[in-house]
Amino acid sequence: MPTNKYNAIRSAANEKIYPELKARSFPSQIERDRAQELVLLQRAGDISELVFQPRVYVSGISYHPDCAYRERKSGEKVYEEVKGLETERWRIVKKLWYFSGPGVLYIMKRGRDGRIHCVETIAPTNAAPPRP
């Protein structure tokens, strides 16, 4: 199977189980797995407004986190970044997010147990309060 320079294998979701992800290809298996989890959370009503690869600006730098959605409990719009390998560019964006990110950012990684966990939450100092 072809891999990218970080040895990640491009993966597609099962369209029969996840028709919402039809014709989407993900850069890695962990991103595909998290996208499938988020679709299930949206079906359950725990999140809404799920968008993949939204464009945001962090200190004037265009960046595409893996996804954005609105949490039902808080009504807050949050962003997620699923990481396998942290690049230099990502480290810069992460530092800038603390000061000028458009909202809360969850950083997700696969644990030793094989499940995907939130390993860090970044709440920028300038984040707008959640809408009522």
What pLDDT, in 10s, does the model give residues 34-71? 999 999 999 999 999 999 999 999 988 899 999 999 99
**Average model confidence (pLDDT) for the chain?**
86
Residue 10 belongs to a domain:
no
Residue 6 lies in a domain: no
Q: Is position 13 within any domain?
A: no
pLDDT for the residue numbered 131: 47
Number of domain units in the chain? 1
46-50: Cβ within 8 A, 24+ apart:
46/71, 46/72, 46/73, 47/71, 47/72, 48/72, 49/77
pTM of the model as a whole: 0.82
Both tokens assigned to 41: 């959370």
**Whole-Å CA distances, 110 to 7, 52, 85:** 16, 19, 11
In angstroms, the CA 43 to CA 97 distance is: 29
Q: Which domain holds residue 59?
A: 29-121
- Asked whether residue 132 is domain-assigned, the answer is no
**67, part of any domain:** yes
For residue 85, what pLDDT is reported? Answer: 81
Question: Is residue 12 assigned to a domain?
Answer: no
